[in-house]
Each structure stands twice: as structure tokens, then as C-alpha cells.
Chain A
């Protein structure tokens, strides 16, 4: 099992560019989520999904879109990157939404927007 994989590991964008951060898991997990990690802010939830075809907004969804067409993949799209989106992005998955289920995290994507 590869677990949760994220690509790319690093990315530099110019303001206004668009890109997609990829996240995939091979554990047949229903619940997937995206977080951003900023200095002094901890991890903040951007979007999450409780299953294929279902997505919902987290704490800081503005400027980001997601879709969940398959159980395995949960891409995060930045439509028009802004410097405020410079951050480290983590994808996570868990078997389902139950409290006993552990969230497994990806290695992160470090994004810089100039």
C-alpha cells in the first residue's frame, strides 16, 4: 500500500496562474480532506469529502475547488493563485467519518505563489 500520495512535492506559481494539487489513496477510504498549514496557524481544513460525488467546505474554502469522481482521488484546484495561498498543503484520508477511524496524512505539497 502506498497510503496517501500527493503530487507535486513542491510548486512555484505566479499570481493568477491555476493548478491542481493531486491526492490519491489506495486504502479504499471514504473520507478525504485537504488542509493548509501556515506558520502559527496550525492545520486548517479547506474542503472534505465523505464519499465519491460528495464534497463540502471546510474552514477556509475560498479560492479552492475540489471534486471527488472516484473513491481514490481528491484533487484540489487553485483557479487563480494568490500570494495568500502560499502554504503547505496536506491531504488526508480515513476509512469513514467515525471517531474511531484514524486519519492518514500525505507527505504534503509546499506551494509558493509569487
Chain B
């Protein structure tokens, strides 16, 4: 069965410190993985997707098939990064499976 796990419900880091939001997945096929972000009082929006291998707002995420992980990383956290982050997997029949989310707080 498809599953996305985000083990940290809450994460706090100081401004300028590195941040890593963990995401692990369970999927028998070739995974398509995404990170979505929801800033305060804004809509959920796409942050990045693994197939693009892009860096958005300083964030990167590498798909590790051996560890079935897709952790989101940023070397230097900024206050504006404070938000709710969701990892998502596109599974069979194009259904999306979301993790439970990690609330990131960047302390000034």
C-alpha cells in the first residue's frame, strides 16, 4: 500500500541554521514525489517535485530510493520559511497521498 510518513509534527530551528524535514514513503512502483507548503493564511502550494531536480527558495530534496526517503533540506533557514510542509506521493491511478505534515518554525 502507498504511504507517506512525516515523523516530525513540529520542528523549530534558529534563523540561519540548517533545516531538514523528513519524508519517507512506501510504494512498490517508481515514485513521483512532491513537497507542498502552506504559509499562514495562504493556500497549499507546490514547493518542488523530485522529477524537476530543482531548488526553490533555497530548498532541495533528493529522492533516495534505497532509503525510500525524500527529505527536504535548506542550508540556512529564514523566518519566512515558517510554514506547514507536506510531502506527497503520486501513486497508481494518479491518486495523491499526502503525509501528515510538519510545522516548521524558524526562530529569529
Contact = CB atoms under 8 A, between A and B. Distances in A.
A45 B4 CA distance: 13
A4 to B, nearest CB: 8
Chain A residues touching B, range: 20 to 34
A40 B6 CA distance: 11
A50 B93 CA distance: 10
Contacts of B99: 42
A18 B90 CA distance: 31
B45 to A, nearest CB: 7
A97 B45 CA distance: 17
A106 B4 CA distance: 22
A45 B32 CA distance: 16
Interface string B70-105: 000000000000000010101001111111110000
Contact of A40 (B45, B86, B100): B100
B96 A107 contact: no
Interface in A76-114: 90, 92, 97, 99-100, 102-108
B44 interface: yes
A39 to B, nearest CB: 9
Given A50-B94, A92-B44, A100-B51, 19 more contacts: A31-B94, A42-B4, A42-B86, A42-B99, A43-B44, A43-B86, A43-B88, A43-B96, A45-B96, A48-B95, A90-B44, A99-B49, A99-B90, A100-B49, A102-B49, A103-B36, A104-B45, A105-B43, A108-B43
Interface of A: 31, 33, 35, 40-45, 48, 50, 56, 58-59, 90, 92, 97, 99-100, 102-108
16 contacts: A40-B100, A42-B4, A42-B86, A42-B100, A42-B101, A45-B95, A45-B97, A56-B93, A97-B94, A99-B32, A99-B49, A100-B51, A100-B52, A102-B46, A103-B96, A105-B45
